[in-house]
Protein backbone atom coordinates (compact mmCIF):
# COMPACT_ATOMS: atom_id res chain seq x y z
CA UNK A 1 0.00 0.00 0.00
CA UNK A 2 2.98 2.32 0.46
CA UNK A 3 4.27 1.79 -3.07
CA UNK A 4 3.19 4.27 -5.75
CA UNK A 5 2.95 3.33 -9.43
CA UNK A 6 5.67 4.48 -11.82
CA UNK A 7 4.88 5.31 -15.43
CA UNK A 8 7.81 5.10 -17.84
CA UNK A 9 7.65 7.49 -20.78
CA UNK A 10 9.69 7.31 -23.98
CA UNK A 11 10.09 10.50 -26.00
CA UNK A 12 11.49 10.35 -29.54
CA UNK A 13 12.48 14.02 -29.40
CA UNK A 14 14.31 13.55 -26.09
CA UNK A 15 16.07 10.54 -27.64
CA UNK A 16 17.47 12.70 -30.41
CA UNK A 17 18.55 15.40 -27.93
CA UNK A 18 20.33 12.97 -25.64
CA UNK A 19 22.16 11.22 -28.47
CA UNK A 20 23.24 14.53 -30.00
CA UNK A 21 24.42 15.76 -26.58
CA UNK A 22 26.43 12.59 -26.02
CA UNK A 23 28.01 12.87 -29.47
CA UNK A 24 28.99 16.49 -28.77
CA UNK A 25 30.57 15.54 -25.45
CA UNK A 26 32.52 12.69 -27.05
CA UNK A 27 33.69 14.93 -29.87
CA UNK A 28 34.81 17.63 -27.44
CA UNK A 29 36.67 15.17 -25.22
CA UNK A 30 38.34 13.54 -28.22
CA UNK A 31 39.53 16.91 -29.49
CA UNK A 32 40.93 17.80 -26.05
CA UNK A 33 42.75 14.46 -25.83
CA UNK A 34 44.14 14.99 -29.33
CA UNK A 35 45.52 18.36 -28.26
CA UNK A 36 47.11 16.76 -25.21
CA UNK A 37 48.62 14.04 -27.43
CA UNK A 38 50.17 16.64 -29.74
CA UNK A 39 51.48 18.53 -26.75
CA UNK A 40 53.17 15.41 -25.36
CA UNK A 41 54.71 14.67 -28.74
CA UNK A 42 56.15 18.17 -29.04
CA UNK A 43 59.77 19.06 -28.40
CA UNK A 44 58.82 21.01 -25.28
CA UNK A 45 55.98 19.06 -23.79
CA UNK A 46 56.29 20.48 -20.25
CA UNK A 47 54.11 17.53 -19.14
CA UNK A 48 56.66 14.87 -18.38
CA UNK A 49 55.36 13.59 -15.06
CA UNK A 50 52.97 10.64 -15.03
CA UNK A 51 50.88 12.14 -12.22
CA UNK A 52 50.47 15.43 -14.07
CA UNK A 53 49.38 13.66 -17.26
CA UNK A 54 46.87 11.49 -15.37
CA UNK A 55 45.45 14.58 -13.69
CA UNK A 56 45.01 16.34 -17.02
CA UNK A 57 43.26 13.29 -18.53
CA UNK A 58 40.93 13.05 -15.53
CA UNK A 59 40.05 16.74 -15.88
CA UNK A 60 39.11 16.25 -19.54
CA UNK A 61 36.94 13.22 -18.81
CA UNK A 62 35.21 15.02 -15.94
CA UNK A 63 34.69 18.23 -17.91
CA UNK A 64 32.90 16.45 -20.74
CA UNK A 65 31.38 13.71 -18.51
CA UNK A 66 32.56 10.86 -20.71
CA UNK A 67 34.55 8.78 -18.21
CA UNK A 68 32.29 5.78 -18.85
CA UNK A 69 32.61 6.10 -22.64
CA UNK A 70 36.30 6.82 -23.22
CA UNK A 71 39.06 4.47 -22.14
CA UNK A 72 42.32 6.40 -21.88
CA UNK A 73 45.66 4.69 -21.26
CA UNK A 74 48.99 6.30 -20.52
CA UNK A 75 51.83 4.60 -22.42
CA UNK A 76 55.61 4.98 -22.65
CA UNK A 77 57.15 5.34 -26.08
CA UNK A 78 60.82 4.90 -26.82
CA UNK A 79 62.64 7.17 -29.25
CA UNK A 80 66.01 5.91 -30.47
CA UNK A 81 68.84 7.99 -31.85
CA UNK A 82 72.52 7.25 -32.59
CA UNK A 83 75.55 9.37 -31.88
CA UNK A 84 79.17 8.94 -32.87
CA UNK A 85 81.51 7.86 -30.11
CA UNK A 86 84.25 10.12 -31.45
CA UNK A 87 84.33 13.36 -33.38
CA UNK A 88 85.14 13.52 -37.03
CA UNK A 89 83.78 12.59 -40.38
CA UNK A 90 81.86 9.30 -40.23
CA UNK A 91 83.24 6.36 -42.13
CA UNK A 92 82.78 2.62 -42.56
CA UNK A 93 84.46 1.89 -39.23
CA UNK A 94 82.81 4.67 -37.23
CA UNK A 95 81.37 3.45 -33.92
CA UNK A 96 78.01 4.75 -32.74
CA UNK A 97 76.25 4.89 -29.41
CA UNK A 98 72.55 4.15 -29.19
CA UNK A 99 70.56 6.70 -27.19
CA UNK A 100 67.08 5.72 -26.04
CA UNK A 101 64.67 8.37 -24.79
CA UNK A 102 61.41 7.43 -23.13
CA UNK A 103 58.44 9.76 -23.37
CA UNK A 104 54.90 9.54 -22.09
CA UNK A 105 51.99 9.42 -24.50
CA UNK A 106 48.27 8.62 -24.32
CA UNK A 107 46.00 6.30 -26.24
CA UNK A 108 42.25 6.25 -26.09
CA UNK A 109 39.28 4.41 -27.53
CA UNK A 110 35.49 4.62 -27.30
CA UNK A 111 33.78 1.90 -25.30
CA UNK A 112 31.11 0.93 -27.83
CA UNK A 113 29.44 -1.43 -25.36
CA UNK A 114 28.94 1.36 -22.79
CA UNK A 115 27.54 3.69 -25.46
CA UNK A 116 25.17 1.02 -26.74
CA UNK A 117 24.02 0.25 -23.19
CA UNK A 118 23.08 3.89 -22.51
CA UNK A 119 21.47 4.29 -25.92
CA UNK A 120 18.86 1.71 -24.90
CA UNK A 121 17.48 4.12 -22.28
CA UNK A 122 17.74 7.32 -24.34
CA UNK A 123 14.54 9.34 -24.25
CA UNK A 124 13.07 7.48 -21.26
CA UNK A 125 12.08 9.05 -17.94
CA UNK A 126 9.83 7.92 -15.05
CA UNK A 127 6.74 9.66 -13.68
CA UNK A 128 5.68 8.94 -10.10
CA UNK A 129 2.07 9.58 -9.08
CA UNK A 130 0.13 9.08 -5.86
CA UNK A 131 -3.18 8.92 -7.73
CA UNK A 132 -3.85 5.26 -8.51
CA UNK A 133 -6.96 6.08 -10.55
CA UNK A 134 -4.99 7.76 -13.34
CA UNK A 135 -4.08 5.81 -16.44
CA UNK A 136 -0.56 6.15 -17.90
CA UNK A 137 -1.90 8.53 -20.55
CA UNK A 138 -3.57 10.70 -17.91
CA UNK A 139 -0.37 10.75 -15.85
CA UNK A 140 1.53 12.02 -18.88
CA UNK A 141 -1.12 14.64 -19.63
CA UNK A 142 -0.92 15.86 -16.03
CA UNK A 143 2.86 16.04 -16.34
CA UNK A 144 2.52 18.14 -19.50
CA UNK A 145 0.72 20.76 -17.41
CA UNK A 146 3.73 21.19 -15.17
CA UNK A 147 5.12 24.24 -17.05
CA UNK A 148 1.99 26.19 -16.08
CA UNK A 149 2.59 25.47 -12.40
CA UNK A 150 6.32 26.13 -12.71
CA UNK A 151 5.53 29.44 -14.40
CA UNK A 152 3.72 30.60 -11.26
CA UNK A 153 6.68 29.61 -9.10
CA UNK A 154 8.97 31.54 -11.45
CA UNK A 155 6.74 34.61 -11.18
CA UNK A 156 6.75 34.38 -7.38
CA UNK A 157 10.55 34.47 -7.39
CA UNK A 158 11.02 37.13 -10.10
CA UNK A 159 7.96 39.38 -10.53
CA UNK A 160 6.82 39.24 -6.91
CA UNK A 161 10.35 38.81 -5.47
CA UNK A 162 9.19 36.66 -2.58
CA UNK A 163 12.74 35.86 -1.49
CA UNK A 164 14.56 36.53 0.70
CA UNK A 165 12.19 36.35 3.67
CA UNK A 166 13.49 38.03 6.82
CA UNK A 167 10.79 36.69 9.14
CA UNK A 168 11.44 34.15 11.88
CA UNK A 169 7.97 33.60 13.29
CA UNK A 170 6.26 30.69 11.50
CA UNK A 171 2.84 32.30 11.75
CA UNK A 172 4.03 35.48 10.07
CA UNK A 173 5.76 33.49 7.34
CA UNK A 174 2.55 31.57 6.66
CA UNK A 175 0.59 34.83 6.59
CA UNK A 176 3.08 36.36 4.13
CA UNK A 177 2.90 33.33 1.87
CA UNK A 178 -0.90 33.42 2.03
CA UNK A 179 -0.85 36.97 0.70
CA UNK A 180 1.41 35.93 -2.15
CA UNK A 181 -0.90 33.01 -2.87
CA UNK A 182 -3.84 35.40 -3.10
CA UNK A 183 -1.81 37.66 -5.39
CA UNK A 184 -1.07 34.71 -7.68
CA UNK A 185 -4.74 33.74 -7.61
CA UNK A 186 -5.82 37.24 -8.68
CA UNK A 187 -3.09 37.25 -11.32
CA UNK A 188 -4.29 33.94 -12.74
CA UNK A 189 -7.92 35.07 -12.75
CA UNK A 190 -7.09 38.28 -14.65
CA UNK A 191 -5.23 36.31 -17.31
CA UNK A 192 -7.98 33.70 -17.53
CA UNK A 193 -10.78 36.26 -17.88
CA UNK A 194 -8.89 38.30 -20.44
CA UNK A 195 -7.94 35.34 -22.62
CA UNK A 196 -11.43 33.85 -22.49
CA UNK A 197 -12.90 37.21 -23.43
CA UNK A 198 -10.49 37.52 -26.36
CA UNK A 199 -11.55 34.09 -27.54
CA UNK A 200 -15.22 34.97 -27.11
CA UNK A 201 -14.84 38.27 -29.00
CA UNK A 202 -12.66 36.67 -31.72
CA UNK A 203 -9.67 38.88 -30.84
CA UNK A 204 -6.42 37.22 -31.88
CA UNK A 205 -3.99 39.70 -30.31
CA UNK A 206 -3.73 42.98 -28.43
CA UNK A 207 -0.98 45.65 -28.58
CA UNK A 208 0.18 45.14 -24.99
CA UNK A 209 3.89 44.74 -25.55
CA UNK A 210 6.22 47.77 -25.43
CA UNK A 211 6.08 49.92 -28.56
CA UNK A 212 2.52 48.61 -29.02
CA UNK A 213 3.67 45.29 -30.37
CA UNK A 214 0.97 42.65 -30.63
CA UNK A 215 0.49 40.03 -27.90
CA UNK A 216 -1.44 36.79 -28.42
CA UNK A 217 -1.43 35.58 -24.79
CA UNK A 218 -1.58 38.59 -22.44
CA UNK A 219 -0.26 38.27 -18.90
CA UNK A 220 -1.22 40.22 -15.80
CA UNK A 221 2.17 41.91 -15.78
CA UNK A 222 1.47 43.44 -19.19
CA UNK A 223 -2.01 44.54 -18.12
CA UNK A 224 -0.68 46.22 -14.98
CA UNK A 225 2.05 47.94 -16.98
CA UNK A 226 -0.63 49.30 -19.31
CA UNK A 227 -2.43 50.93 -16.36
CA UNK A 228 0.71 52.00 -14.49
CA UNK A 229 0.45 55.58 -15.80
CA UNK A 230 -3.26 56.01 -15.05
CA UNK A 231 -3.49 58.70 -12.35
CA UNK A 232 -6.16 60.70 -10.60
CA UNK A 233 -5.38 64.10 -9.03
CA UNK A 234 -7.22 66.25 -6.51
CA UNK A 235 -6.84 69.99 -6.16
CA UNK A 236 -7.14 70.97 -2.48
CA UNK A 237 -7.64 74.35 -0.82
CA UNK A 238 -7.47 74.52 2.96
CA UNK A 239 -8.15 70.84 3.19
CA UNK A 240 -11.19 70.97 0.91
CA UNK A 241 -11.35 69.37 -2.52
CA UNK A 242 -11.77 72.06 -5.17
CA UNK A 243 -11.61 69.84 -8.23
CA UNK A 244 -10.88 66.23 -9.09
CA UNK A 245 -9.05 65.30 -12.28
CA UNK A 246 -10.05 61.75 -13.17
CA UNK A 247 -7.80 59.41 -15.09
CA UNK A 248 -7.95 59.91 -18.83
CA UNK A 249 -8.10 56.31 -20.07
CA UNK A 250 -6.99 55.38 -23.56
CA UNK A 251 -9.06 53.34 -25.96
CA UNK A 252 -6.88 50.29 -25.32
CA UNK A 253 -7.29 50.65 -21.56
CA UNK A 254 -11.06 50.88 -21.92
CA UNK A 255 -11.06 47.82 -24.15
CA UNK A 256 -9.09 45.81 -21.58
CA UNK A 257 -11.44 46.89 -18.78
CA UNK A 258 -14.44 45.84 -20.85
CA UNK A 259 -12.90 42.44 -21.60
CA UNK A 260 -12.25 41.65 -17.94
CA UNK A 261 -15.65 43.07 -16.89
CA UNK A 262 -14.30 46.00 -14.86
CA UNK A 263 -16.43 49.16 -15.28
CA UNK A 264 -14.59 52.27 -16.43
CA UNK A 265 -16.17 54.33 -13.65
CA UNK A 266 -13.98 52.42 -11.18
CA UNK A 267 -11.30 54.95 -12.12
CA UNK A 268 -13.59 57.88 -11.29
CA UNK A 269 -14.66 59.38 -8.00
CA UNK A 270 -18.09 58.17 -7.06
CA UNK A 271 -20.70 60.89 -6.58
Listed by start position, the domains of the chain span 8-119, 170-267
> Which residue did the predictor score with more confidence, 46 or 28?
28
pLDDT tier, 38 (very low <50, low <70, confident <90, very high otherwise): confident
pLDDT of residue 246: 85
Tell me the pTM.
0.55
Residue 155 has pLDDT above 90, yes or no: no
Please, which pLDDT band fits residue 96 given cuts at 50, 70 and 90? confident
Closest C-alpha to 72, from 33, 27, 100, 46: 33
Coil, strand, or helix at residue 244?
strand
Please report the pLDDT score of residue 160 as a whole number: 81
Q: What is the pLDDT of residues 67-91, one digit of tens each?
A: 999 999 988 877 777 777 778 788 7
Name the CA dihedral angle for 66, 68, 70, 75, rounded to a multiple of 10 degrees: 120
102 has a pLDDT exceeding 60: yes
| 271 pLDDT higher than 60 | no
**3-class DSSP assignment, residue 163:** coil
What is the rounded distance in angstroms from the CA atom of residue 152 to the CA atom of residue 147? Answer: 9
**Window from 19-28, 90-99, 186-195 with minimum mean pLDDT:** 90-99
d(CA 153, CA 161): 11
How confident is the model over 161-194, as pLDDT tens digits?
888 888 899 999 999 999 999 988 998 899 999 9
Query: Residue 85 has what pLDDT?
Result: 78
How far apart CA 196 and CA 168 sit, in angstroms, is: 41
CA 124 centroid distance within chain: 19
d(CA 16, CA 199): 36
Per-residue pLDDT, 270: 59
Pair 8, 124: CB distance under 8 Å:
yes
Confidence of residue 43 (pLDDT cuts 50, 70, 90): low
Q: What percent of the chain shows pLDDT beyond 70? A: 96
Amino acid sequence: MEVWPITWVWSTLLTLHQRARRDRRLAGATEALEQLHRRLAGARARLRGAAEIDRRVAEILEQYRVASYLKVKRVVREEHSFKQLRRGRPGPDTAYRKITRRRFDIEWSIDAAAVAYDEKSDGMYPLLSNDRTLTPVQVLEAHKGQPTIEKRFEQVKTVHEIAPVYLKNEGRIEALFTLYFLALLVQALIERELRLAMQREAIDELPLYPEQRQCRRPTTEQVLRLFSLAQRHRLLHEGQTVQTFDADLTDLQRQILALIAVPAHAYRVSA
